[in-house]
Chains A and B, each alone.
Chain A
Amino acid sequence: MKQTRSGSMTRRRLLATVSARAALAVSPFRINLLQAQEANIKIGFPVPLTGPYGTEAQDQVRAAQLAVAQFNDAGGLNGRKAELVVRDDKLNPGEAATRTLELVEKEKVNFVVGSLSAAVQLAINNVTKERGIIFNSISQSDAINEAADFSRFTFHEALNPHLTSGAVGRYAFSKFGKRVAFLTSDYAYGHEMVRGFLEVGKAFNIENLGDIRHPLGTSDFSTLLPRIQALKPDILCISNFGRDQQIVLKQATDFGIKQTTQIIAPLLSHASRVAAGPQAFEGVIGGCSFYWGIEDKFASTKAFNEAFKKMYDGKLPTDYGALGYGGVRTILAAVTNAGSVDTDKVIAAMEALKYDFYKGPQYYRKCDHQSVQSVLVIKSNSKDLRNSSDVFEVIGTDEPNETNLRTCSELGHKA
C-alpha cells in the first residue's frame, strides 16, 4: 500500500516535472534560469576612491582587476566567470556600511574584498559577518584580529599594525637612538601603530617624549612642528597615511627636522612617494607589505609584476595594489580549490591555503585568519633611479613568523 502510494507520487512528480520543463522550453523563463545558474561570481570591492587615500585605492582596484582577469582567462570556475563590483566608500564608516549592504542585498555579491582604513574596515566587517559573507580585508587593522570583531567570515590579507610597527621598530630603535616622539593620525590606524611601537620599544628601553595627534586629512602641519623640534627627539615616528603622509614629510623637511632627527613611519606608501616626489621622502625609513623590487627574490613577484605591466602599459604594481591583488586572488584560489562558491567550503579552502601569489610564502592563521607573511623595511630612494617606480630600497625583512603576531589567546580567541 505504502509503496504503491509513493510510486504514484513519483509518477505524478515525473509528470509535473516533464510538463514544467516543456513549458519552460518555450517560455522566456528558461533563459533567466540558465543565467542564474551561470551567473558571475561577484566580488564586492568597497574602497575610498575619493579623499586623502584615493591614490592608493585606485591602485587597489587596478590590481584586483588583474586577479579577476587571470581567473577568467584560466577558465573561471568550470566556465563561471568572476566579476569585480567596485564602490567608493569615501573613507567613511557609515558610507562603507551602506555600500556594503547594497553590495550584499542588491548586487548579491558572493564575497567582499576591500577597504583602506583601520576604522572603515570594521564597519564593513560588521555588515559581512552579520550577513554571513566572507570579507577579506586589505588594509591595516589590529582590532579585526581580535575576538570581539573577528568572525569565521573575516579574513585579513593585509599586515596589521602590531606586525608592521614591530618590524620597523626593531630596525630603527636599535640604530638611531632612544628618545622617540610620535606624530599620529588621530584614529584607529594611528593609535594601533603607536601602541605597537611602544610595545616593541620596551625591549629597547625607548623614552616616549610625547604623542602629538592630528586629525585625519590635515593640510598644514606647521603648527605642530616647532613643538616636536623643541622636544629634540632622536627619532620622530609619524603614523599617518596617504596625503597626510605626503604633506607632513614635505613640511617636516622644510622645517629642517631631518637634520637632527631620523624620521620613521610604520608604512611608506609607494603611491604617496611618487605623488610627493623624492625630496619629501628622502632618508625616511618605514615598512611595507610589498615592493616590486623583491622580484629578484621571488618568482611569484616577477610573474605578478609582468602580468601587471602587460595589463597597464608597463606600469609596476604598488604596495596597496598588491594587496588588492592578493585579497581577490586568494578568494578565487579558494573557490577553485573548493570547486564551489559555497561560503563554508570556501572558508575551509581559505584556511587550508598555503600560497605564494605575489610576495613569497603566506598562509592564514587558523584562529584569527590573519595572513602570516613577511614585512619589508624600506628606505626612500632619491638618487640614480632605474625607472619611475624605483622609489624604495629594501633594507631589512621580517620573515613570515607567527611569533611576530600577538598570540591567539592574547587576542581573546579560545584555543
Chain B
Amino acid sequence: MAGLSINLIALQLFTGLALGAIYVLFAIGLSLIFGMLTVVNFAHGAFYMIGAYAGVYIFMLGGDFWICLILVPLAVGLFGLAVERVLIRPLYGRGIDYPLLLTFGLSYVMVELIRIAFGKTGFPFDTPENLQGAVNIGVGYFPLYRLFVIGATAAVLLALWLFLEKTSFGLIIRAGARDPQIVRVLGVDVARVWLIVFGVGTAIAGLAGLLAAPLQGVIPEMGSTILAEAFVVTVVGGMGSIGGAVLAGLLVGVVVSMTSLFAPEMGKVSIFALMALVLIVRPQGFFGRAGLMS
C-alpha cells in the first residue's frame, strides 16, 4: 500500500501509546488488587462495565460528564468495598482459586443484573462537547478526547504513586503486601487495609469504564473483551507489579498499533504473540516476583 511516510509512522506510534493508556488504566486496578491481596479479580471487567452504566445513569438524572468523573469512581469504589467486605473477605487464606472462582461467578451475576435493569441493547454515549473533534498534534490529526484519556491516565498514576509511596497509609499497604502477619503483629488492622485497596482498585476500573464509554458506547458485555487484553498486560508486566503494568500496557498498545499498520488482520493476534514471546524469555514478566501465584 502506498502512502507510508514518517508522519504516518509517528502518528501510528502515538495512536498506540493512546491505546496503551486505556489498557494501563484498566490493568492498573487489576494489578493493584492482585499485588496487594493476591486476588485474581475476574470481575474487574464487570466493575469497568458498571462504571460505564453508572455514567449512563447519572446522565439520565441530568448530570454531565464532569460530574460523572467524580461520582462514578466513588460509586463503583463503594460497591467494590461492599463486595470485598461481604464476599471476598471470608475467602482470604484459602488459596488463590477461591476468590478467582468467586469473582468469575460474580462477573456473570453483575452482567446479568445490568441486562435486567438496563436491557440487553446498549446505550449511546456521546463524547463530551468540549472534547469533541480532532486536533493537529504536529504529525497529523488526533482525537482530542483520546488526548484527554492519556492525561487522565497520567493523573491517576501520579495520584496512585503519591498515595502508595508518600503517605503513611501507603506504607502500611506495601508492608501488608509483603508480610501481612508481621503487620498484624504490629497492631495494624490488615483487614481494613485490604478493604481500602480493593475499593481503590475497583474505583479505577469504574473510572476506566466511564472513560471508555465515549470511545465505544455502553453494552453489558463491554468488560469481557478488555479483560482478556488486561490479563495479557498484567502477565507481561509481571503479576502484581504496577510499574510493570504501565510499561506492558503501553508496549501492548504500540505493538497492536504498529502491527495494524502493516498487517491489520494480525492486530488482535499480535497481543498474544507478544505475551508468548515474553513468557518464553521471562516467565515472571517484566517486573514480576517469582512464586507469587503459588
Interface residues of A (CB under 8 A from B): 50, 54-55, 58, 186, 209-210, 212-215, 217-220, 222-227, 229-232, 243, 246-247, 250-251, 254-256, 271, 275-277, 279-280
In the complex, are the beta carbons of B121 and A219 less than 8 A apart?
Answer: no
In the complex, are the beta carbons of A254 and B145 less than 8 A apart?
Answer: yes
B141 CB, min distance to chain A CBs, angstroms: 5
B126 CB, min distance to chain A CBs, angstroms: 5
Q: For the complex, what is the distance from the CA of A217 to the CA of B222, rounded to whole Å?
A: 11
Within 8 Å CB of B105, what residues of A? none
Select from chain A the residue with minimum beta-carbon distance to B141.
A256
Query: Which of B8-16, B73-81, B160-168, B276-284 contacts the other chain?
Result: B8-16
Interface centre among B8, B133, B267 (most CB of A within 10 A): B267
Interface centre among A214, A219, A229, A246 (most CB of B within 10 A): A219
Within 8 Å CB of B265, what residues of A? 186, 213-215
Within 8 Å CB of A227, what residues of B? 1, 3, 8, 12, 260-261, 264
Within 8 Å CB of A256, what residues of B? 133-134, 141, 143
Interface residues of B (CB under 8 A from A): 1-5, 7-8, 11-12, 15-16, 18-19, 22, 120-127, 132-134, 140-143, 145-146, 215-217, 219, 221-222, 225-226, 256-257, 260-261, 264-265, 267-268
Q: For the complex, what is the distance from the CA of A229 to the CA of B257, rounded to whole Å?
A: 15
B20 CB, min distance to chain A CBs, angstroms: 11
Q: For the complex, what is the distance from the CA of A277 to the CA of B216, rounded to whole Å?
A: 12
Select from chain A the residue with minimum beta-carbon distance to B8.
A230
Interface centre among A58, A227, A271 (most CB of B within 10 A): A227
Within 8 Å CB of B132, what residues of A? 254
In the complex, are the beta carbons of B219 and A243 less than 8 A apart?
Answer: yes
In the complex, are the beta carbons of A226 and B1 less than 8 A apart?
Answer: no
B9 CB, min distance to chain A CBs, angstroms: 9
In the complex, are the beta carbons of A223 and B19 less than 8 A apart?
Answer: yes
> Which 4 residue pairs spanning A and B have beta carbons closest together?
A277-B124, A256-B134, A223-B260, A254-B143
Known pairs A275-B124, A276-B217; A223 contacts B261 (CB<8 A): yes
In the complex, are the beta carbons of A212 and B264 less than 8 A apart?
Answer: yes
In the complex, are the beta carbons of A215 and B12 less than 8 A apart?
Answer: no
Known pairs A213-B265, A226-B12, A255-B141; A231 contacts B3 (CB<8 A): yes
Interface centre among B122, B132, B133, B264 (most CB of A within 10 A): B264
Within 8 Å CB of B257, what residues of A? 222-223
Q: Which of A222, A232, A279 makes the CB contact (< 8 A) with B18? A: A222
Select from chain B the residue with minimum beta-carbon distance to A225.
B15
Q: For the complex, what is the distance from the CA of A218 to the CA of B133, rounded to whole Å?
A: 22
In the complex, are the beta carbons of B122 and A55 less than 8 A apart?
Answer: yes
Q: Which of A214, A271, A279 makes the CB contact (< 8 A) with B126? A: A279
Q: For the complex, what is the distance from the CA of A212 to the CA of B266, rounded to whole Å?
A: 11
Select from chain A the residue with minimum beta-carbon distance to B219.
A243
Q: For the complex, what is the distance from the CA of A217 to the CA of B267, rounded to whole Å?
A: 13
In the complex, are the beta carbons of A229 and B215 less than 8 A apart?
Answer: no
14 contacts between A and B (CB under 8 A): A55-B121, A209-B1, A214-B264, A215-B265, A226-B15, A227-B1, A227-B8, A230-B8, A247-B216, A250-B216, A254-B134, A275-B122, A275-B124, A279-B127
Within 8 Å CB of B215, what residues of A? 220, 247, 250-251, 254
Within 8 Å CB of A280, what residues of B? 124
In the complex, are the beta carbons of A275 and B140 less than 8 A apart?
Answer: no
In the complex, are the beta carbons of A255 and B134 less than 8 A apart?
Answer: yes
Q: For the complex, what is the distance from the CA of A256 to the CA of B1, rounded to whole Å?
A: 22
Q: For the complex, what is the distance from the CA of A54 to the CA of B221, rounded to whole Å?
A: 11
In the complex, are the beta carbons of B134 and A219 less than 8 A apart?
Answer: no
In the complex, are the beta carbons of B121 and A222 less than 8 A apart?
Answer: no
B149 CB, min distance to chain A CBs, angstroms: 11
Known pairs A222-B15, A254-B143, A256-B143; A58 contacts B264 (CB<8 A): no
Interface centre among A215, A226, A230 (most CB of B within 10 A): A226
A315 CB, min distance to chain B CBs, angstroms: 12
A19 CB, min distance to chain B CBs, angstroms: 57
Q: For the complex, what is the distance from the CA of A223 to the CA of B12, rounded to whole Å?
A: 7
